[in-house]
Amino acid sequence: MLTTIKMTLTASALALATAGSAFAAAHANPEVGGAEMFADKNIIENAVNSPIHTTLVAAVKAAGLVETLSGEGPFTVFAPTDAAFAALPAGTVEILVMPENKATLTEILTCHVVGAGVMSDAIAGMIADDNGSHPVETLGGCILQAKMDGDMITLTDEMGGVATVTVADVKQSNGVIHVIDAVLLPGADDAMGDSMDSSMNDSMEMENPMVGGAEMLASKDIIDNAVNSPIHTTLVAAVQAADLVETLKGPGPFTVFAPTDNAFAALPDGTVETLLKPENKATLQKVLTAHVVAGAVTAEDLIAATRKSHDGFYHFNAVSGDALSAKSTRSGRVFIFDESGNAYEVTTANVMQSNGVIHVVEGVLLPR
């Protein structure tokens, strides 16, 4: 838990500051949410003026960080939008802004702040210099991994969550803001302490969809909930045969695209029986891990990624190394494509787990 805000620049921050020394260049500031941003105003003044950062501003006030972020700096703030906060499990923001959770809120917010003013071209240069992934230490003490996704900068947090910089280089009198589309979280052992676990889980459980008529509890892990699902008996048997139970009960977080019993039954006759044989354990493991992605990826994350892509697809890799793609419709339906070209709809999305999220899919994803 955060006890003090580390205001001394780390070696990483010093490198960022040196590389980003031109961050106050005079070209026009981009608008944020349709609002003008002024380079002669500080981070707090501009954030207050942004119509898509009302939650962030409220959180900064609740954490007592207004004076800090109005200070001399310079700072780089990766600023999650209102939509990013809304994508957190239901009730999370309300719990975080409670006075008793101020230390946790402070730690989360300062994991979005770097003690240097760094423009996007400097970040991109350091990513290239570090062979595709540059570690960024924040004032909250957590380490973000900066990477490139095409021409977009992404940040991976300590929970495996990924945020994309959607508006870069919003210059401030005391640094720079980069707008991001997701909230960055410290490691589970740091941010989500015992003081919050019970209330957060209670809130999440109230909102979790049922699966096959069975209640899914966000306080339980992927295996515990899958065992409780009456439409995932084949998947559970396969996970047990592949010796993946311990893995999927681990801290994760994981995203699991979970085929139903009907999905397995639709495979050619004898396929499941063959895969469950001990001599085919390696093949079974590859098939199952082709349904698992590192990090907790919600349906909203997938939809946002598809809509930002050039071809309408979001391309990503499963734990197995196999390629998967997601595509969304205008109405918000999500389809997952496997390497064999099959497309299956996510029929129940965002079943939150203590170690990730499950999305129920109507087919088995097969490697090529």
CATH of the domain at 265: 2.30.180.10
**Residue 120 falls inside a structural domain:** yes
**All residues at 6 or more sequence positions from 18 whose CB lies less than 8 Å from its CB, including other chains:** none
pLDDT digits (tens, 9 = 90+) for 54-94: 999 999 999 999 999 999 989 999 999 999 999 888 778 88
pLDDT at 268: 94
Strand partners, 32: 35
pLDDT digits (tens, 9 = 90+) for 145-184: 999 999 999 999 988 889 999 999 999 999 999 999 999 9
Judgement on whether residues 160 and 268 belong to the same structural domain of the protein: no
Judgement on whether residues 72 and 103 belong to the same structural domain of the protein: yes
Judgement on whether residues 157 and 60 belong to the same structural domain of the protein: yes
How far apart CA 60 and CA 45 sit, in angstroms, is 12
**All residues at 6 or more sequence positions from 71 whose CB lies less than 8 Å from its CB, including other chains:** 174
Distance linking the first and last C-alpha atoms of the chain: 45
How far apart CA 11 and CA 273 sit, in angstroms, is 56
**Residue 70 falls inside a structural domain:** yes
pLDDT at 90: 73
Closest CA to 288 of 338, 335, 252, 225: 338
Judgement on whether residues 153 and 299 belong to the same structural domain of the protein: no
Task: Please count the other Cβ atoms lying within 10 Å of the Cβ belonging to residue 258.
Answer: 25
Judgement on whether residues 132 and 244 belong to the same structural domain of the protein: no
Judgement on whether residues 186 and 252 belong to the same structural domain of the protein: no
How far apart CA 3 and CA 5 sit, in angstroms, is 7
Judgement on whether residues 125 and 236 belong to the same structural domain of the protein: no
Per-residue pLDDT at 197 exceeds 50 = no
**What's the angle, vertex CA 189, arms to CA 58 and CA 12, rounded to 5?**
75
Domain span at 246: 209-361
**Residue 230 falls inside a structural domain:** yes
Judgement on whether residues 82 and 217 belong to the same structural domain of the protein: no
How far apart CA 120 and CA 126 sit, in angstroms, is 10
**Which of residues 190, 221, 239 is at a domain's end?**
190
Judgement on whether residues 184 and 224 belong to the same structural domain of the protein: no
> Measured in whole angstroms, how far is the alpha carbon of residue 345 from the centre of its chain?
21
Domain count, the chain: 2
Could you tell me what percent of the chain has a pLDDT over 90?
A: 69
More confident residue, 133 or 190: 133
**Which of residues 135, 161, 190 is at a domain's end?**
190
**Residue 197 falls inside a structural domain:** no
How far apart CA 42 and CA 70 sit, in angstroms, is 6
Judgement on whether residues 225 and 165 belong to the same structural domain of the protein: no
Per-residue pLDDT at 217 exceeds 60 = yes
72 φ, ψ to 5°?
-65, -40
Most confident range (mean pLDDT) of 17-26, 63-72, 204-213, 297-306 is 63-72
pLDDT at 195: 44
pLDDT digits (tens, 9 = 90+) for 323-339: 999 999 888 899 999 98
Q: Confirm if 167 and 30 have CB atoms less than 8 A apart.
A: yes
How far apart CA 293 and CA 366 sit, in angstroms, is 14
**Residue 204 falls inside a structural domain:** no
82 φ, ψ to 5°?
-60, -40
**Residue 328 falls inside a structural domain:** yes
Q: How far is CA 241 from CA 14, 55, 169, 235, in A?
A: 50, 46, 51, 10
**Residue 5 falls inside a structural domain:** no
**Residue 324 falls inside a structural domain:** yes
Judgement on whether residues 160 and 294 belong to the same structural domain of the protein: no
Average pLDDT over residues 186-197: 53
